[in-house]
């Protein structure tokens, strides 16, 4: 295994142990070089397992103690109280108030969002692309945290490395789908080449979170723009590569 230090980005908004992990470090090679944690990728299984074990160690838990769901761009949320069943539940967010549980999401351009109410000890994690954000996964995560005893006024949310507005070119169909649900979201699109638009996905996510009454911010890292540091589905597509690595974001319930 490489001895390259892990690249762990943290947010000042969160006090619970957490991290948005970049691609540096880890055991993967080739197009997956570094810390690919994607169980659904075509990377070597032992390399992915070694990478996830490194993340678990950084989070202070065992290799089998990272909780994650089968992400499907939904608004569904799972309450975590221990090991999840196999096959993994299909959902895009998790919440817990069980001390020591580590919630994780995988991304490669979509928004990884970590939540915390330090007063109650309730934490959450969500995978939020444009579709999941539009469908309400962020609001559903907050509702699920409140059901566990969190207070909305105390919840803070951090968005980790995601595709930035300068790199996220979209067509009119995507813009129309977003505006059909929220006409005020037009401010997150600026004209691009021809009929294309540049979409500010992190701005869209932050606005949703603040609209829910949360203190929220993006870390400011664009996945597309830094190939040595981050994986990117869109960059891989543009390069014609066969597959892509996935980052992991994690938060541990305190106590």
What top-level class would CATH report for the domain 8-252?
alpha beta
What is the predicted pLDDT for the residue at 1? 46
Report angle CA 68, 49, 130 to the nearest 5 degrees: 40
| pTM listed for this prediction | 0.98
Q: 120 pLDDT band (50/70/90 cuts)?
A: very high
Helix 201-211 × helix 137-147 angle, to 10°: 40
Which tokens is 190 given?
């600026």
What is the predicted pLDDT for the residue at 3? 77
pLDDT higher than 90, residue 236 = yes
Q: Helix-strand-coil percent breakdown of the chain, rounded to 5?
A: 30, 25, 45
Residue 113 in contact with residue 126, Cβ under 8 Å?
yes
In the chain, count H helices and then E strands. 6, 14
What is the predicted pLDDT for the residue at 24? 97
Closest-CA residue to 106 (of 83, 133, 126, 86): 126
Q: 50-66 pLDDT, tens per residue?
A: 999 999 999 999 999 99
* Nearest-angstrom CA–CA distance, 57 and 51: 10
pLDDT higher than 50, residue 255 = yes
Please, what is the average pLDDT of the chain?
A: 97
What's the average model confidence in pLDDT over 108-121? 98
What's the average model confidence in pLDDT over 155-167? 98
Q: 125 pLDDT band (50/70/90 cuts)?
A: very high
Dmax (CA) of the chain: 53
Q: 56-106 pLDDT, tens per residue?
A: 999 999 999 999 999 999 999 999 999 999 999 999 999 999 999 999 999
What is the predicted pLDDT for the residue at 2? 57
Q: Which sequence spans correspond to the domains of the chain?
A: 8-252
What is the predicted pLDDT for the residue at 240? 97
* Nearest-angstrom CA–CA distance, 60 and 11: 18
């Amino acid at each position: 295994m490489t001895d390259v230090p892990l690249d762990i980005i943290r947010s000042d908004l969160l006090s619970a142990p957490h991290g948005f992990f970049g691609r540096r470090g880890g055991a993967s090679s080739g197009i997956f070089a570094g810390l690919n944690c994607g169980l659904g990728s075509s990377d070597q299984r032992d390399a992915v397992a070694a990478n996830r074990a490194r993340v678990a160690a950084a989070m202070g838990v065992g290799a089998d103690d990272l909780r994650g769901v089968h992400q499907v761009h939904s608004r569904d949320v799972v309450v975590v109280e221990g090991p999840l069943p196999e096959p993994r539940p299909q959902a895009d967010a998790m919440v817990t108030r069980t001390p020591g549980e580590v919630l994780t999401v995988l991304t490669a351009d979509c928004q990884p969002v970590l939540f915390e109410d330090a007063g109650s000890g309730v934490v959450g994690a969500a995978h939020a692309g444009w579709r999941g954000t539009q469908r309400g996964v962020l609001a559903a995560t907050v509702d699920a945290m409140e059901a566990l005893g969190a207070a909305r006024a105390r919840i803070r949310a951090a968005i980790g490395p995601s595709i930035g507005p300068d790199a996220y070119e979209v067509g009119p169909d995507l813009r129309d789908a977003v505006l059909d649900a929220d006409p005020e979201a037009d401010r997150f699109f600026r004209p691009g080449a021809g009929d294309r638009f540049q979409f500010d996905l992190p701005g869209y996510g932050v606005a949703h979170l603040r609209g829910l009454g949360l203190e929220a911010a993006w870390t400011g890292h664009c996945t597309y723009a830094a190939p040595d540091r981050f994986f990117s589905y869109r960059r891989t597509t543009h390069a014609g590569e066969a597959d892509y690595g996935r980052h992991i974001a994690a938060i541990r319930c305190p106590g």
